[in-house]
Structure 1
C-alpha cells in the first residue's frame, strides 16, 4: 500500500507491543508500507505502573478509542485498517459497532481468533477437550500475576483507601482462582460496575455490535483453536451469510494465533496470518483506489455531457 494508511492494532489478553507475534506482524506491515500503532493494554506492560485504579478488561474500548482518536488527530489525512488479535478482536469489533462515527476513515477491519461471545464461551472453558481447561488455568494464572503486580494502586494499602468500585473485591478469592471466570466475577466486572458475571459478559462481548459494522470485515478462526470452541463459530458463519461486507475464513489448522509456516521444529517467524492480514489490507486499499478513480471518471464524463 502506497497511500497514507495506518494499522491500528489491538493485541490479545494481557499482551502488548513487545510480544513477539505483535513485533513480527508490525515489522511485516511496516515493510509493506503501513504506519502501525499498537495498543498497550492498561497494566500489561511489565515495569510500567498504573497511575489510577483501573486496568484493561474484556471489552472496554476506551483506551483503543483514545489511541484511534490520537492517530486521526495527528495524521489528518490517514485512513485506518483496524486489526484485533484474540481478545483484541472483540475490542475492535465492539468499538466499531458502538458508534457509527467510529467507522469514519476506516477502510476495513480484521479480527483474528476471537470467540465473539464470552457468555457462550464460558461454558466451554471448563471442558477438558483440546486442553481448554488447562489453557484457562494458565491464562488465569497470568492475569493473577498482572493484577497482583498492581495491587497497591488497584486495591489500596494501609495508607490508601480501597477504590469504591472494588470495595467488595476479595483478594483471598483472587489468590485461589483457577479460572478466568472466577477472576472476572471477583475483580474485572467491578471496574465498570456490572452486577453479575452474566451482565458483564453480555455487555462486553462484540456479539450485539457485529451487525452494526458496515466497513469490510474479515473474521478469521481456526478449527483447531483450543480456546474457541466450534459451537462459537456459528456466530461469524451466520453473520457472513447475511452481510455482504463480512467474510468469515475458517482454517483447519492454526491453533490460537499460530498459523506457522515451515518445519515443525523450526517454523518461520513470519506466519501465514501476518501475510493474510496485509494482503487483505492491500486488496481493500486497491479496491478503494479503483472505486475513487471510477467515481472521478464518471463525474468527468457527466460534466462533458
Structure 2
C-alpha cells in the first residue's frame, strides 16, 4: 500500500515544483502587469491640447513584447547588452573642437535624408547616456530614424568615451558638465545660422541638456523644444537609492562603476601620468582608490568631482544636477521616464511631476514599462528595431515644429490685417 502511494507523492512534488517555477517566471517577467497608455502630467493649455491631438503615442497603449517586455530588468539588460536589434549605420562626419583647457571635444554630424514635415531646417542636438557616444546602437537607431524624418543630427561624444580618441587634457566628462555640449551647439548655430534646434538627452545626457538650457537664457535661443529620457534629475537624492538592493540598484551601480573604471584606466596616462598637470586636488592615491571602488559614488568622490575642483561629493552632486535649473527652462519640455526603470527610484519621479504641475511648458510622460532606455516594442518574443522611445521623441518634435509654424502663420496673418486697417 505504501509502495503504491510513492509515485503519487513524487507526482505531487513535481507538480508543486512546476507551479513554483511558473510562479517565479510570472513574477519575474511581470506578466500580470497590464498594458496601458502612459500616465501624463501637464497643465491644461493650448500647447498641451495640441500635443495630445498631434502625438498619438501619448494616448495609445505602449505594448512591449509579450514574453519579457513587462520586465524593466530585461528591457534594461537588453539595452545595456545589445542596444538595439538590426541597428542601422548612419553615415556622418566627425567634428573636433579644441576647448579652452586643451581638451578635444568631438561630435558626429548627420545630414537629413528627407525634407522635414514643415519644410524648415531643424537640427537635433543629442547628448547620449553615461560614457556613451554616437557609435552606440541605440543612438544609431534614433539618428537614422530622425534623419529619415528630415532632421539634421549632431551627437556629442562624451569626453573620454570613444576608445580611439585620446584625451588631450587631464579631464573627462562628468555628470553635469555642459562645456562640450555647449561647444557643439555653438558650432551648429554658427555653421547653420538659419537652423532651429531640438535638444535631446538620454539618461545622463538628459541631465546635461536640461542643465545647459537652464544655465542661461541665451542657451535657449533658437531652441524649439527639449526632450529628456530616463534621467534621474538629482544625483544627490539618487545616491542613497543607488546603494539600496531593491530593484537590484546596488548591482547596477556596481556594473556601471566597473565600466567607468575601465574607461578612466584606459586614459590613465592622460589623467594620472607624471608629465600631466593634474588638478591640485587629484592625487596619485586617488588612482589606488579607484581600483577598489565598487560604486559610482566612490569614483565620483575620488576622481570625477576633482576635475572641476569641487570640495565635496555633496557639492559636486548639488551643482551638477539639473534639478535646480529646470524651472529656468521656458521652451516646451518633455520629460520621459518608465515606472519600472530599475535605475531611477520612484521617489525621484516627484521632481518632474511637481514641475509639470507648475509650468505650462512641461509635460511629464510615464509609461508603465520600458526599463532604462529600453522601450522595446514587439508582438511576442522578438523586438522591433525601432522603439517606442524613438518614435515618441520624433513625433513630439514634429508636433512642436508644427505648433511653432502655426504660431508664426497666425502672427503673419495678424500683421497683414493690421496693415489693411
Measure the CA separation in 2 of the matches of 1:40 and 1:167.
27
What is aligned with 2:354?
A: 238
Q: Within the alignment, does 1:50 sit opposite 2:148 as a pair?
A: no
Superposed CA offset, 1:97-118 (max 9, x none): 0000000000000000000000
Q: What are the equivalent positions in structure 2 for 1:30-45 lying under 5 Å apart?
A: 30-45=147-162
- Indicate if the aligned counterparts of 1:137 and 1:179 stay in contact, CA closer than 8 A: yes
Superposed CA offset, 1:119-150 (max 9, x none): 00000001111111111001000000000000
What is aligned with 1:291?
A: 407
Higher mean C-alpha displacement, 4-13 vs 169-178: 169-178
Higher RCO, 1 or 2 (CA under 8 Å, sep at least 6)?
2
- Indicate if the aligned counterparts of 1:154 and 1:163 stay in contact, CA closer than 8 A: no
Measure the CA separation in 2 of the matches of 1:189 and 1:223.
30
CA RMSD of aligned residues (A): 1.1
- Indicate if the aligned counterparts of 1:118 and 1:201 stay in contact, CA closer than 8 A: yes
Give the CA deviation at 1:265: 3.4
- Indicate if the aligned counterparts of 2:279 and 2:307 stay in contact, CA closer than 8 A: no
Measure the CA separation in 2 of the matches of 1:170 and 1:236.
35
What is aligned with 1:124?
A: 241
* Counterparts in 2 of 1:263 and 1:145: CA distance versus 1, 3 Å: farther
Measure the CA separation in 2 of the matches of 1:249 and 1:40.
27
- Indicate if the aligned counterparts of 2:176 and 2:321 stay in contact, CA closer than 8 A: yes
Measure the CA separation in 1 of the matches of 2:281 and 2:392.
42
Measure the CA separation in 2 of the matches of 1:92 and 1:233.
18
- 5+ long unaligned stretches in structure 2: 1-115
Q: What are the equivalent positions in structure 2 for 1:1-305 lying under 5 Å apart?
A: 1=116, 2-157=119-274, 159-160=275-276, 162-167=278-283, 170-263=286-379, 265-305=381-421
Give the CA deviation at 1:263: 4.0
Give the CA deviation at 1:160: 4.6
Structure whose CA Rg is larger: 2
- Indicate if the aligned counterparts of 2:279 and 2:309 stay in contact, CA closer than 8 A: no
Give the CA deviation at 1:164: 2.8
SS in 1 for 2:205: helix
- Indicate if the aligned counterparts of 1:155 and 1:163 stay in contact, CA closer than 8 A: no
Measure the CA separation in 2 of the matches of 1:230 and 1:199.
23
Measure the CA separation in 2 of the matches of 1:119 and 1:35.
35
Give the CA deviation at 1:234: 0.3
- Matched residues, number: 304
Q: What TM-score results when the alignment is normalised by the length of structure 2? A: 0.71
SS in 2 for 1:70: helix
- Indicate if the aligned counterparts of 1:156 and 1:163 stay in contact, CA closer than 8 A: no
Superposed CA offset, 1:74-100 (max 9, x none): 000000000000000000000000000
- Indicate if the aligned counterparts of 2:242 and 2:249 stay in contact, CA closer than 8 A: yes
* Counterparts in 2 of 1:169 and 1:116: CA distance versus 1, 3 Å: farther
Superposed CA offset, 1:233-271 (max 9, x none): 000000000000000001100000000001453211110
Following TM superposition, the consecutive aligned residue runs of length 4 or more in structure 1 with deviations greater than 6 angstroms are none
- Indicate if the aligned counterparts of 1:80 and 1:105 stay in contact, CA closer than 8 A: yes
